[in-house]
Structure 1
Amino acid sequence: MSKLSKKGKVYAVAASIALVAASGGVAYAYWSTTGSGSGSAANSAGGGTVTLHATFNAGLAPGNSTAVAYTADNSSNTSTVVGALSATVSTSDPANCLASWFTVTATTSNSTAAPNSVGTSVGSGTLTFANSAVNQDACKSATVTVTVSSL
């Protein structure tokens, strides 16, 4: 086995540092994905009108999932039952960060939102970001929005 010259050692160290930096850059790009957002819609199964919200943590990376919490604000003077939930995903850059890369579920709790209440838990779900073979870097700066409605 031959020994590396001083110049060869310098090149080997520089190449190693470049490789680590490049690998870290890719990991950072995916892990720095932004996208906390909430959607809202009005409708309910209990006679009144509520405003629904979907919230989830930022930083969703391709191939990962995060929990979604669904809540309701009821500004009326009567209780309102929130029925079946339906959720969809959109992005602020629909041409480059495709909504089809995301899936979202909504588990219904058939909860009652008390009169003049804010933030009543009405369900939960999961938001998943598929790991596609194509470049998904556009999603790093896009806002992901989950819009929820009730029947």
Structure 2
Amino acid sequence: MAEIIRKDAEDEEWKRRAREHEAQRREREDLERRKREAKERLRQMREDLAELRSKDAARKAREQQEQDAKERVCQQEEKARELKRRQERAAKEQLRRQREVEAERKSREAAEKAQEQLEKTAQERLKMLIIEEKLGFVRGHWAKMREAADKRDANATS
């Protein structure tokens, strides 16, 4: 009986050790499982972080492209406004020059017309003077002829 008790005690000891061993094995497996899960969570977190960084970089790149595009549009609009201002200034300058040329032409025409009028007036005056001179000569001639006729009449009557 002592042997049965001893054997029972050994069996109990063996069962206890087996339970301890099983508990340790489960603990190791649990620890390994938690390590794997932690590694997986860490890997997933790294992937998520990398994805977030990638999305952030893409967002920043898009924002920069949009900003660059807005700046280009603003620059193009400013260039267009400047070109329009230059064209308007050039058009105004051309119009001013055309008006100057037209004013000079009209001034020249008016001066030529005035000169022609002066020449015409001078020619008419010259004609009048010539006519008056001829009339004066004719009158003088007629006066001399009358005087001569009067002298002849006076000589003939005397």
TM above 0.5, one fold? no
* TM-score (norm: length of structure 2): 0.26
Q: TM-score with structure 1 length normalisation? A: 0.27
Instruction: Report the structure, 1 or 2, having the larger strand content.
Output: 1
More RCO (CA 8 Å, sep 6+): 1
Q: Which has the larger radius of gyration?
A: 2
